[in-house]
Amino acid sequence: MFTDSHCHLASHKFSAEELDSIVANAKNNGIHRMITLATSLEDCPTNIQIAEKYPEVFCAIGIHPCDVHETPDNYLETLHTFATHPKCVAIGETGLDYFHPAPDGWTENDYHQRQRQFLRQHFELAKELNKNIVIHTRDKSGKQSLDDALEIYSEFANDVRAVFHCFLGPWENAEPILKLGGYISFTAISTFKSAKDSLGAAMAAPSGRFMLETDSPYLAPAPHRGKRNEPAFTHLIAKSLAAARNETLEELALNTETSVSDFFKLPSNN
């Protein structure tokens, strides 16, 4: 059995009526747990409601870096309230996105500065609530967003663990993350032949320090590429990565399930 450690079940690409079958399909494919992540203040309540409805679903509460300009300065109090919900198992999705251009009326500098401020505030909240944190980083080229996120993470690494989700490699970039006590997680991108760095990182990642995720509704694996992704497809990612790592599915499940249970502080029999 596997866990989809990162999906967005509150996305408008999943209608509320469909969720029963989305969750059932995941379970039928051996995906017994899902973590659905908020990306804005607006979708926090929906993610919580979904987690309340399904015993298999847990949620994470946070503001995506591409949403910081839409979020009021006093958001933290509201986020704090959401994050104390018993099914909230992490803070996120937060992070730094230097890939997408700054929105109208913002300089790149101010936009990235606000993202760094939010990331630091998310770390403070995680520390206060004794939860771990889910980080997104993305650059046009190079790894400035990763470096900046690591600098902020290092201030909190004694108290909070971070997972760098949708890790794209190369492997050297994982080393400072693991050194700080962090984790990485792999999407279907690691199964694409064109993504050598990401596959290489997935092959090199030590057991117990990485997780699997769909990032659904985005990033569907083959043979569903270009279509809507869903948690059930975690098993396709698992199959490809087990083969690439020369492990059995059972070994990969054991390793990644331990990571998920430790990181999100879930009972390992859940």
Q: Report d(CA 114, CA 65) in Å as an integer.
A: 9
**Cβ 44 to Zn ion, closest distance in Å?**
14
DSSP 230: -
**Cβ 8 to Zn ion, closest distance in Å?**
6
Choice between 22 and 242, CB closer to Zn ion: 22
In this structure, are residues 44 and 82 in contact, taking their beta carbons and an 8 Å threshold?
A: yes
Q: Measuring CA to CA, which residue among 170, 186, 192, 169 is closest to residue 255?
A: 186
Choice between 26 and 242, CB closer to Zn ion: 26
Q: Measuring CA to CA, which residue among 14, 70, 76, 74 is closest to residue 47?
A: 14
Amino acid found at 152: I
Determine how β-strand 88-97 pairs with β-strand 183-186: unpaired
Choice between 2 and 242, CB closer to Zn ion: 2
**Cβ 248 to Zn ion, closest distance in Å?**
29
Choice between 67 and 215, CB closer to Zn ion: 215
**Cβ 93 to Zn ion, closest distance in Å?**
5
Q: Report d(CA 223, CA 214) in Å as an integer.
A: 14
**Cβ 213 to Zn ion, closest distance in Å?**
8
**Cβ 7 to Zn ion, closest distance in Å?**
8
Amino acid found at 49: Q
Q: Report d(CA 248, CA 259) in Å as an integer.
A: 17
Choice between 8 and 235, CB closer to Zn ion: 8
Choice between 137 and 173, CB closer to Zn ion: 137
DSSP 108: H
Q: Where in 209-238 is the site for Zn ion (CB under 5 A)?
A: 215
Q: Where in 91-150 is the site for Zn ion (CB under 5 A)?
A: 93
The 75-94 contact track toward Zn ion, x by CB under 5 A, reads ------------------x-
Q: Which residues bind Zn ion (CB under 5 A)?
A: 93, 215
